[in-house]
Amino acid sequence: MVKELNVKLQTATPRGLHEFIATSVLMRYARAGIRAADLGAGPGAMSERLAGLGCSVVAVDRDSDVYKADFPFVTLDFNAPDFAGPLGIASFGLVVAIEVIEHLESPIGFLRNVRRVLTPGGVAVITTPNVDSLPARAKFLLTGKIRTMDENSDPTHISPIFSDLLRRQFLPRAGLKVREHLVFPSNGFQLTRKPLALTFRLAASFLPGDLLVGDHHILVLEAAR
C-alpha cells in the first residue's frame, strides 16, 4: 500500500515528477531515521516528502530566500569544487537531487561530491532531462538543437546529460555506478504535444533501446566497489 504524503509546498519541477519519484523510488530507499540531503531544495517540497517517509532531512540550495519548509537548511553553491566538506563526508544515507545536475558547470564535480557525502551503502536519486529520448533525437536531427536545452528552454540548463557518456565517463570518474534507472513518464511523453507524443510512443515501441521514451531520467546511484 502506498503511503499518502501530506505535501503542501509547490514545486517548479514538471507535473507529477515528484509524486512518481516518491512512490516509485523513495518508498523503497527512504526509511525512518535515515539522514537525507535534499540538494537543490527550492521551496522544500521534496524535503517535505522525505520527512513524511521518516527521514531526517537537511535541505541544501544556493538561495535560502525561496526555501519555505521547516527543516535545517544549508546554503551552498553546487558549482563549488568541494561542497561535500561543509555538508559532512559520509553523512547521508540518501541524497536526492531533482533536476539539478543540468544546471551545473561541472556535472562530474557534482557527482564526485555526491559520492563523498554518501554513507557506506547509501544511495543518491538524481533526475535530469532525457536528451536521449526519441523526440530529443528527432529535434537534434531536424534543427541541430538539444531538447530542453535550446533558446526556448530554461536558460540555466547548460549541461545536457547523455546516458552513454554518463555511464562510461562521468560515473566512473566520480566513483559511482547505476543501481537502477527509470524514466518519467514511464510509457510516453509529457513535454510533447499529444498527436506527436502518440506518434513518438508508437515509433519507440518498434525501435531498440530503453532510453527512447520518457522526458526525464531517474537514476539511483551508489558507490562503485
The confidence band for 33, taking pLDDT boundaries of 50, 70 and 90, is very high
What CA–CA distance (Å, rounded) separates 147 from 37? 29
What CA–CA distance (Å, rounded) separates 95 from 213? 25
Please determine, for residue 171, whether its predicted confidence score (pLDDT) is greater than 50: yes
What CA–CA distance (Å, rounded) separates 176 from 147? 26
Angle at 85 between CA 81 and CA 91, to 5 degrees: 130
Mean pLDDT of 40-44: 96
What CA–CA distance (Å, rounded) separates 127 from 108? 15
Mean pLDDT of 143-159: 96
pLDDT of amino acid 163: 96
Please determine, for residue 9, whether its predicted confidence score (pLDDT) is greater than 80: no
What CA–CA distance (Å, rounded) separates 179 from 173? 16
Alpha-helical runs (H) found in the chain? 17-21, 27-29, 45-52, 84-87, 107-117, 134-143, 163-165, 171-174, 194-205
9-13, 63-67, 119-123, 124-128: least confident range: 9-13
pLDDT tens digits, one per residue of 63-80: 999 999 999 999 999 999
Where are any strands of DSSP class E within the chain?
35-39, 56-61, 73-75, 92-97, 118-129, 176-184, 216-223
Mean pLDDT of 27-38: 96
Higher-confidence residue of 1 and 192: namely 192
Mean pLDDT of the chain: 93
Higher-confidence residue of 10 and 171: namely 171
**Domains delineated in the chain:** 17-223 (3.40.50.150)
pLDDT of amino acid 208: 85
The rounded percent of the chain whose pLDDT value lies above 70 is 94
Q: Model pTM greater than 0.75?
A: yes
3-7, 128-132, 155-159: least confident range: 3-7
pLDDT of amino acid 102: 98
What CA–CA distance (Å, rounded) separates 72 from 198? 44
The confidence band for 1, taking pLDDT boundaries of 50, 70 and 90, is very low
pLDDT of amino acid 12: 59
Q: What residues contact residue 186 under an 8 Å CB cut-off, 6+ apart? A: 20, 213, 214
pLDDT of amino acid 3: 45
